[in-house]
């Protein structure tokens, strides 16, 4: 790769707020398919689908086509005025979901979609207590951040009252030092007893990602979810599934919860829904919507129900179905995971490989016996990958750097997967020898 010109990067450092630690030392001029390119045309294979949003690859031809067509129609309207793309997307989305998920609202970000679900859950139940998982990430707005238990809480003052937490079922690092590599739901039972002791008797909802990404790529198994739903029902807790990263095929099904015997009370979508454009949705039942409407529910933002972005949601479903990408994600994900497991046999620093479909995690450790995370080595490998032509996701903030979040586009080829693994193999070798 050609080195980034210092004066170009200095401009960025001088004029931009640093919102995610240090910026990656690469300036992308364009993107296409599985690659991003600098202004010299140097290609970098993207194993992150951008911010996990370009699920069908960068600048998918169908997305670009809709981009041109939608620009000739209404781009933005008063929030109370609807448009054909919004109505058509609501019908397309609810057609793909169980009958109990029949009412939609379209927004821009995952934070907003979770705010809607939380706000409606509080209004419907009359409670205000929301339970989240340790390490979870549901957004950066005030409400969503209050139930986000990643390393983003310190220094910003009080969170919203009623924020409660249970431990994530992190099999590789059992949160209660109980399991030996296979979760038996004890952490769930203990966690719910602990929040019961903290609760003031005003439960509203529990919010969960089917695969907790920022927490370290922790998959919630069907047996765990079944018990989780039972415990929620016992307490009158509504269940919110945040499928920001797991929906639209990434785990091998249109929606991750299809692998469960459980249907949530709220489903929130973002990232993957717009195919790279800012589009999010909250979906719930007609019963909950009717009750909230009767109680005067309000959620007005500047860009709720914008027709322009809704057009890309329609395009995303067309791409997903026409190209059979959910099935492809299952097949390619299994192939990629097997290659990562083979790398684990070769490299002692790979402590664990986990995840599902094309949403996989690789944990970097100093020692497999102690399982001590190795942030510094993770950063070094990440930087070396970039210099060799592979973009990998390790958040560039202290305490986040030991788990790679691997989420290539569903359109990636097997040859591109092979290339990515060969680069990762070389980068680990270069950083550990």
pLDDT tens per residue, range 363-401: 999 999 999 999 999 999 999 999 999 999 876 556 656
* Most distant CA atoms of the chain, gap in Å: 66
Q: What is the pLDDT of residues 300-338, one digit of tens each?
A: 999 999 999 999 999 999 999 999 999 999 999 999 999
Q: Which of 46, 112, 209, 352 is catalytic?
A: 209
Catalytic, 259? Answer no
Active site residue 119: no
Domain 6-56+325-432 shares a fold with domain 64-322: no
For the purposes of burial, counting CB atoms within 10 Å of the CB of 245, is it exposed (0-12), middle (13-18) or buried (19 or more)?
Answer: buried
Catalytic, out of 46, 112, 115, 137: 137
CB half-sphere exposure, 210, CA atoms < 13 A: 31
137 is annotated as an active-site residue: yes
Q: Identify the active-site residue in 245, 265, 374, 384.
A: 245
Q: In the chain, which residues have pLDDT < 50?
A: 1-2
Q: What is the DSSP letter of 377?
A: H
Three-class secondary structure of residue 311 per DSSP: helix
Q: 3-state DSSP call for residue 103?
A: strand
Tokens at 9, concatenated: 């990067």
Which CATH number is 6-56+325-432 given? 3.90.1150.10
| Residue 331 annotated as catalytic | no
Specify whether 367 is catalytic: no
Would residue 405 show up in a list of annotated catalytic residues for this protein?
A: yes
**DSSP assignment letter at 134:** B
- Catalytic residue chosen out of the listed positions 129, 242, 306, 416: 242
For the chain, what are the domain ranges? 6-56+325-432, 64-322
pTM (two decimals): 0.95
Task: Return the CATH number of the domain spanning residue range 64-322.
Answer: 3.40.640.10
- 129, 229, 405, 416: the active-site residue: 405
pLDDT of 399 reads 60
């Amino acid at each position: 790769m050609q080195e980034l010109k210092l004066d170009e990067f200095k401009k960025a450092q001088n004029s931009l707020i640093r919102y995610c630690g240090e910026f990656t030392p690469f300036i992308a001029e364009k993107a296409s398919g599985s690659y991003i390119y600098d202004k010299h045309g140097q290609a970098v294979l993207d194993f992150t689908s951008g911010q996990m949003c370009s699920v069908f690859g960068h600048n998918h031809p169908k997305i670009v086509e809709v981009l041109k067509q939608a620009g000739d129609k209404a781009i933005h309207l008063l929030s109370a005025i609807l448009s054909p793309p919004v109505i058509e997307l609501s019908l397309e989305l609810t057609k793909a979901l169980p009958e109990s998920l029949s009412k939609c609202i379209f927004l821009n970000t995952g934070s907003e979609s979770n705010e809607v679900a939380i706000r409606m859950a509080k209004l419907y139940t009359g409670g205000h207590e929301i339970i989240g998982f340790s390490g979870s990430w549901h957004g950066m707005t005030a409400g969503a951040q209050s139930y986000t238990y990643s390393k983003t809480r310190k220094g910003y003052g009080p969170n919203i009252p009623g924020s409660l937490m249970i431990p994530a079922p992190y099999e590789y690092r059992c949160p209660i030092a109980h399991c030996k590599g296979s979760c038996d739901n004890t952490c769930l039972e203990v966690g719910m007893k602990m929040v019961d002791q903290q609760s003031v008797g005003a439960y509203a909802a529990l919010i969960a990602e089917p695969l907790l990404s920022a927490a370290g790529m922790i998959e919630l198994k069907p047996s765990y979810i079944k018990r989780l739903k039972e415990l929620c029902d016992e307490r009158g807790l509504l269940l919110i599934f945040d499928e920001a990263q797991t929906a639209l095929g990434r785990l091998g099904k249109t929606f991750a919860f299809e692998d469960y015997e459980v249907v949530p009370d709220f489903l929130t979508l973002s990232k993957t829904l717009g195919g790279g454009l800012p589009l999010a949705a909250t979906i719930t039942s007609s019963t909950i919507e009717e009750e909230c409407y009767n109680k005067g529910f309000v959620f007005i933002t500047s860009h709720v129900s914008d027709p322009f972005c809704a057009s890309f949601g329609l395009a995303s479903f067309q791409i997903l179905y026409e190209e059979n990408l959910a099935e492809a994600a299952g097949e390619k994900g299994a192939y990629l995971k097997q290659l990562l497991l083979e790398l684990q046999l070769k490299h002692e620093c790979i402590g664990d490989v986990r995840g599902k479909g094309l949403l996989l995690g690789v944990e970097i450790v100093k020692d497999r016996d102690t399982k001590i995370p190795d942030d510094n080595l993770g950063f070094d490998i990440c930087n070396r990958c970039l210099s060799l032509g592979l973009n990998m996701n390790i958040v560039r903030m202290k305490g986040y750097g030991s788990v790679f979040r691997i989420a290539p586009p569903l359109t990636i080829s097997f040859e591109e997967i092979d290339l990515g693994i060969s680069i990762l193999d070389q980068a680990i070798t270069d950083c550990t020898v």
